[in-house]
Amino acid sequence: MAAMLMLKTLGLFLVTAIAEIVGCYLPYLWLKEGKSAWLLLPAAASLALFAWLLSLHPTAAGRVYAAYGGVYIAVALLWLWVVDGIRPTAWDAVGCAVALAGMAIIMFAPRGGA
């Protein structure tokens, strides 16, 4: 059962990170790449989805926000590679591993009802 909870949590964090990155990337395209201002509509929807997804976790909001950052870093580095075409460095990978370890400690450490 604990493994299923971990997979659900990680999956939710993954989808949340994609929603946040899309919500920030679309305005970037408008501001920096001269794309249509209509991109702001799906950007706003994506950021609203991001906020809603963060609310689905069954633990304290501050803990969720702190742990989510580790997954966001990993997804942002994948975005860098897949969308921007820039391969992350070994230092990026080390930093990502540290962030994911921090996420795992924050989210999955045993707690006495807190």
Domain ranges of the chain: 9-108
CA atoms within 13 A on the CB side of 66: 12
Which has more confidence, 65 or 90? 90
pLDDT reading at 1 higher than 60: no
* 12 confidence band (pLDDT: 50, 70, 90): very high
Q: Is the pLDDT of residue 4 over 90?
A: no
- Collapsed DSSP state (helix, strand, coil) of residue 84: coil
Q: What is the pLDDT of residue 34?
A: 93
Q: Once rounded to an integer, what is the mean pLDDT over residues 79-94? A: 97
Q: Dmax of the chain from CA atoms?
A: 52
**pTM (two decimals):** 0.85
> Are the C-beta atoms of 2 and 110 separated by less than 8 Å?
no
What residue type is 76 in one-letter code? A
- Contact predicate 71/100, CB 8 Å: yes
**Which conformational region is residue 110 in: left (phi greater than 0), alpha (psi within -120 to 50 degrees), or beta?**
beta
Q: Which two tokens stand for residue 96?
A: 């990502």
* Model pLDDT, residue 40: 98
Distance CA 52, CA 45 (A): 11
The pLDDT tens digits for 41-72 are: 999 999 999 999 988 987 778 888 888 899 99
